[in-house]
Amino acid sequence: MQWLRAVLTIRDTQFQSLSLDLQLRNPRPYLDHLRQRHPEWVAEHDDAEALELVRGAVRSAHGYALSSTRDVCRFLDLVVIFGADWSGEAHAWLHEALVGSTSETAPRRLGRLLQQAMHRLEAAAA
């Protein structure tokens, strides 16, 4: 009997879509992150609001090509601190840093953005 070998090829866009679907179906890691890192936010919001925030952050993160659990959690930190809407002038720098025209990967742009955010928060607190 002759066996046929089939090679399954998943395009990057298909993988991203599968990853997004899995993360939306299993928000537990992000909810846990939210509870551990932002207890003050969790204390002021109910479970439904937390789930809505997490799902929105997961979708937005994927829009910036951020799909690993670690990257989505770091993105969620920014959403909690600066809000989910980055379209306004006050937060345009967040969006610009993630869509910049550099050849850096999305996770590297996120890392650079997190450093910028820390500097801005420290300057505002001083």
**pLDDT one-digit tens code per residue, 23-71:** 767 789 999 999 999 999 999 999 999 999 999 999 999 899 898 999 9
Residue with tokens 């610009």: 96
Query: How far is Cα of residue 75 from the mean position of the Cα atoms in its chain?
Result: 4
pLDDT at 51: 94
CA distance 47 to 44: 10
CA distance 108 to 66: 10
Give domain limits for the chain. 14-125
- Is residue 20 within 8 A of residue 69, CB to CB? The reply is no
Q: Give me the chain's average pLDDT, please.
A: 86
For the entire predicted model, the pTM comes to: 0.82
